[in-house]
Amino acid sequence: MNEVYFLFHQTDRDGSRPLRDRITKICEEREWRFLARGVPTFKTVKGRPIALVPSDFAAGLYMKAHRTRVAVLVLGSDPRVPLHPRNEGALRYERHIQLKRYMEYKCFYCKVTADPANDGWTGMFSGWCEHVECEGDHDPRCLPFHVFRGDGPQLNLAEQRESFNQRYGIGAKRRDDARSTWQLNPRDYHGGENLVVAGHTLPAGFHWDVETDAPRDFNTPKYSWRVTGHFNVYPDAFFRRGKGKVQELK
């Protein structure tokens, strides 16, 4: 079942109600699962307000986008996603990225207005669901770009993906800006689940064997670890300990 997530600033809860009701009705008619979530605002250590998606919600949303077709609708300014399991840590160390950047290539993302009659996103999401927007296992858009250190934006055109491959390596083996190697070894895939990226179904257990010579931080909404050596990373940013060393960061 396709899923639609509507995010709005908590201060817009009352003003967004007509739009939420309209999206609810559309999803019921099309048999799409619908979930609305208000995003709270915090202050950085410098006193700047920032809308921060709850870490557990962000982690679950990213995982869900690798298991079904997902639409993310945002009312108002784009919120940010904490790359730390605790909001305090994300704010203190400035470990957060735009929601759009976090979900890029893995979902249908659309900014919406508060006008309930403006439902053009519906046809666009339906059209996106009918096409495969990933060219295969070696497509760089399979990567979790909040973990892979590299220039991930602007990969929708073939020449952009080719430029990415020239810089970081071909799909079977890449080297990111943190000097970590990301290698696909199909004979060593672990697990029986087939993840999906924009309509393309990956082999069961698809993951990268990641090797790093020097310690590097691995930050997601769910984990904040410093790793050295070998570990596995899956397209949905699931981390599996390998032969390397892992230290949990506070």
Whether 11 and 115 map to the same domain: the answer is yes
CB contact set of 147 (below 8 Å; sequence gap of 6+): 218, 219, 220, 233, 237
Examine the fold and report which residue of 97, 129, 161 is the final residue of a domain before the chain moves on.
129
CATH number at residue 69: 3.40.50
Examine the fold and report which residue of 129, 157, 181 is the final residue of a domain before the chain moves on.
129
pTM for this structure? Answer: 0.94
Whether 195 and 149 map to the same domain: the answer is yes
Whether 88 and 10 map to the same domain: the answer is yes
Whether 68 and 148 map to the same domain: the answer is no
- Of 138, 221, 210, nearest to 180 by C-alpha is 210
Residue 208, burial from CB neighbour count under 10 angstroms (0-12, 13-18, 19+): buried
Residue 135 in any domain: the answer is: no
Return the structure tokens found at 94.
Answer: 């400035």
Give me the pLDDT at residue 247, please.
87
Amino acid at 16: S
Examine the fold and report which residue of 129, 163, 189 is the final residue of a domain before the chain moves on.
129
For the chain, how many structural domains are there in total?
2
Inform me whether the pLDDT recorded for 250 exceeds 90.
Answer: no
Whether 152 and 116 map to the same domain: the answer is no
Whether 59 and 80 map to the same domain: the answer is yes
Inform me whether the pLDDT recorded for 139 exceeds 80.
Answer: yes
Whether 148 and 107 map to the same domain: the answer is no
The pLDDT tens digits for 109-132 are 999 999 999 999 999 999 999 999
Segments forming the whole domain that contains residue 164: 140-248
Whether 154 and 241 map to the same domain: the answer is yes
Whether 166 and 125 map to the same domain: the answer is no
Q: What is the mean pLDDT of residues 36-46?
A: 93
The DSSP line for the chain is: --EEEEEEEGGGTTTTHHHHHHHHHHHHHHT-EEEEEEE-EEE-TTS-EEEB--HHHHHHHHHHTTTS-EEEEEESS--EEESSSSHHHHHHTT-EEEHHHHHTTTSEEEEE-S-TT--THHHHHHHHHTS-----TT-GGGS-TTTS-S--S--SSHHHHHHHHHHH--TTEEE-TTS-EEEE-GGG---S---EETTEEPPTT--EEEEEEEEEEEE-SS-EEEEEEEEEE-TT--EEE-SSEEEE--
Residue 134 in any domain: the answer is: no
Mean pLDDT of the chain: 94
Give me the pLDDT at residue 73, please.
98
The pLDDT tens digits for 212-232 are 988 998 899 998 889 999 999
CB contact set of 125 (below 8 Å; sequence gap of 6+): 2, 4, 71, 108, 110
Write phi, then psi, for 219 (nearest 5 degrees): -120, 125
Strand 33-39 versus strand 3-9 pairing type:
parallel
The alpha carbon of 5 is separated from its chain's Cα centroid by a whole number of angstroms, namely 13
Whether 114 and 18 map to the same domain: the answer is yes
Residue 207, burial from CB neighbour count under 10 angstroms (0-12, 13-18, 19+): buried
Answer for the pair 60, 221: CB distance below 8 angstroms, yes or no. no
